[in-house]
């Protein structure tokens, strides 16, 4: 979840799973990595970056254990002040096209 609460609507999508952007699938090396990931049974997804280039990555459907829901249905982080650096530098640009925080 973003530090900028004015734009973040606290939907929680960025904490409900994990997405690791890996490579351009249309290169020899990219295809090789894609096949490797699939051979391991990993869920591979395609995303488009801001230049319109298709990239692939690995998606995990496991939510973070610190993701909580408040009574009004908003998501919040139980360790917000001490959350990992990965959560602090999140921009939402590639992972969730409909993320309000950009
Ligand atoms: S996906 Fe975007 S809008 Fe939703 S909680 Fe994360 S930062 Fe906020
Ligand atoms: S530590 Fe907090 S901000 Fe980071 S993924 Fe978990 S719930 Fe989200």
Domain shared by 34 and 6, yes or no: no
Instruction: Please write the tens of the pLDDT for every residue from 20-70.
Output: 878 777 788 888 888 998 999 999 988 877 777 788 889 888 999 999 999
Query: Taking 70 as the threshold, does the pLDDT of residue 92 lie above it?
Result: no
| 86 shares its domain with 69 | yes
Is the C-beta atom of 58 inside 6 A of ligand 2?
no
Q: Please give the structure tokens belonging to residue 63.
A: 């939510």
Q: What is the pTM of this model?
A: 0.75
Q: Is residue 35 part of a domain?
A: yes
User: Does 24 lie in the same domain as 10?
Assistant: no
Q: Does residue 2's CB lie within 6 angstroms of at least one atom of ligand 1? A: yes
Ligand nearest to the CA of 14: 1
37 within a domain of the structure (yes/no): yes
Structural domain of 7? 1-17+62-95
Query: Which ligand is closest in space to the CA of residue 88?
Result: 2
Domain count, the chain: 2
């Amino acid at each position: 979840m973003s530090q900028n609460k004015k734009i973040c609507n606290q939907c929680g999508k960025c904490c409900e799973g994990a997405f690791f952007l890996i490579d351009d699938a249309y290169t020899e090396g990219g295809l090789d990595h894609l096949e490797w990931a699939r051979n391991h049974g990993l869920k591979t997804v395609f995303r488009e970056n801001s230049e319109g280039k298709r990239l692939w990555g690995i998606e995990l459907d496991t939510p973070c254990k610190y993701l909580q829901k408040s009574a009004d249905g908003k998501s919040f982080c139980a360790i917000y002040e001490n959350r990992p650096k990965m959560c602090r530098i999140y921009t939402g640009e590639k992972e969730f096209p409909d993320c309000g925080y950009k």
